[in-house]
Amino acid sequence: MFDLDAFCRDLETIVNIDSNSMDPAGVNRVADFLETGFKNLKWHTSRYRLHEEAGDYLTAANREADRYDVLMIGHMDTVCPAGAALARPFRTDGAMAYGPGVSDMKAGTLAMYYIARELPTDVLDGLNICIIMNPDEEIGSIYSRYMTMEIAKRTDYAFVMEGTALNGVYTTRRCGNMNVGVSFKGIPQHSGYILEKRNASAVVEMARWILAVNALTDPGTFTTANVGLAEGGEGANIVPAHASMTVNFRFAEASRPEAILLQLEDLRRTPSVEGTTAEISVLSRTPPMVPTEDTERYIKRVEKVFDQIGQPFSLIDLRGGSSDGNYIASTGTICLDSLGPRGGGGHTENEYLHLDQVEECIVRMVHLIKEIAEFKRSTA
């Protein structure tokens, strides 16, 4: 029987641990707590150190297996800086819980343990279930994505336990994203001799790029461009020799990155400030989450489960944010996202969790997994 008070006590423990993506020790303290819980359930746990700058990648499975029927995934890291847990520790007001990472996504990650506790014996006997607790999702799963994809390739159904901001609204489509760095070189000069001696401002050339890149935003193709970082120059009286910017692109179609890079290459070949050059670097790339035909067929079964338990169900057309669901879906595995408890305010100091939604999360996941067990038996 689900115990919300116990859940809140456990949630308080892990929310009050700083676990920024770049804080391996903090992430590992969260992993220690979760691993202990799964070991108490007699589940098999494994930890992998994928990189010295990241915490451990933790998995739990009801049995060792080459292939899994069900995969659930959450992440232990947050975007919150060191000291956030001390500055605004976990608290509740009866209806809501607050604290760094409470919604994104320590509640959803902890929920996987409580779901495992609630699964009936016959379901556990009939299914191979794997649970992933990722240490670096907030930095694009740069170290863990390949391991997640390898496990996903050996899985029939995957559930991403990211929280949802809207009651009953779930996700099978997410934008992909690409971070691009552009560095500019100019010809430095004392600003007092701009009219007399040769010079070329790297900052002025970058300014032209910023406007051109911003114009690549296209609602028709769900493409957005955000110049999030821009810097250059050494002083007000020096024509800048160097400048750089970092752009985040979001897109719904897998073909968009190549089209974007071609447009950037056109800009590179045709500088507006004579004497400047630009160099383009793709810093990271995440594929869009696109449902397969199998996923779309599975949604029909999901709708029946939600109807049986009396919970609303609908799919959002497209989410701009990425998740591990992007990588899982790229393997062709059936994948449904945003199944965690409802909350909001992620990446801000106002992050919150609806406590009355926690049990609903546990209930829907237990019933979805039970349906998979029943479907497997009926089609054996």
Query: Tens of pLDDT along 14-30?
Result: 999 999 999 999 999 99
Q: What is the DSSP letter of 289?
A: B
Percent of the chain residues topping a pLDDT of 90: 98
Q: Environment class of residue 198 by beta-carbon count within 10 Å: exposed (0-12), middle (13-18) or buried (19+)?
A: exposed
DSSP string, 25-94: HHHHHHHHHHHHHHHHTT-EEEEE---TTS--EEEEESS--SSEEEEEEEE--BSPPTTHHHHS--EE-S
Provide the greatest CA pair distance for the chain. 85
Q: Name residue 160's beta-bridge partners.
A: 73
Per-residue CA distances from 241 to 60, 199, 276, 277 (Å): 53, 9, 9, 10
> What integer pLDDT is reported at residue 143 of this predicted model?
97
Distance (Å, whole) CA 23 – CA 68:
31
Residue 380's pLDDT band (cuts 50, 70, 90): confident
* Degrees to nearest 5, angle at CA 133 with 95 and 138: 75
H-helix or E-strand containing 97? strand 96-98
Query: Tens of pLDDT along 40-90?
Result: 999 999 999 999 999 999 999 999 999 999 999 999 999 999 999 999 999
Distance (Å, whole) CA 17 – CA 27:
8
Residue 186's pLDDT band (cuts 50, 70, 90): very high
Task: Quickly count: other Cβ atoms within 10 Å of residue 356's Cβ.
Answer: 13
Distance (Å, whole) CA 197 – CA 177:
42
Domains and CATH numbers, the chain: 4-174+289-378 (3.40.630.10), 176-286 (3.30.70.360)
Query: Tens of pLDDT along 243-292?
Result: 999 999 999 999 999 999 999 999 999 999 999 999 999 999 999 999 99
pTM flag (> 0.75): yes
* Strand 169-170 versus strand 314-315 pairing type: parallel
Task: Name the average pLDDT for the chain.
Answer: 97
What angle, 0 to 180 degrees and rounded to 10, lies between the N-to-C axes of helices 4-15 and 107-118?
140
What angle, 0 to 180 degrees and rounded to 10, lies between the N-to-C axes of helices 358-378 and 293-309?
120
Residue 164's pLDDT band (cuts 50, 70, 90): confident
H-helix or E-strand containing 132? strand 129-134
Q: What is the mean pLDDT of residues 120-131?
A: 98
Exposure letters 238-253 (e unless 16+ CB within 10 A, then b): ebbbbbbbbbbbbbbe
Tally the residues of the chain: 380
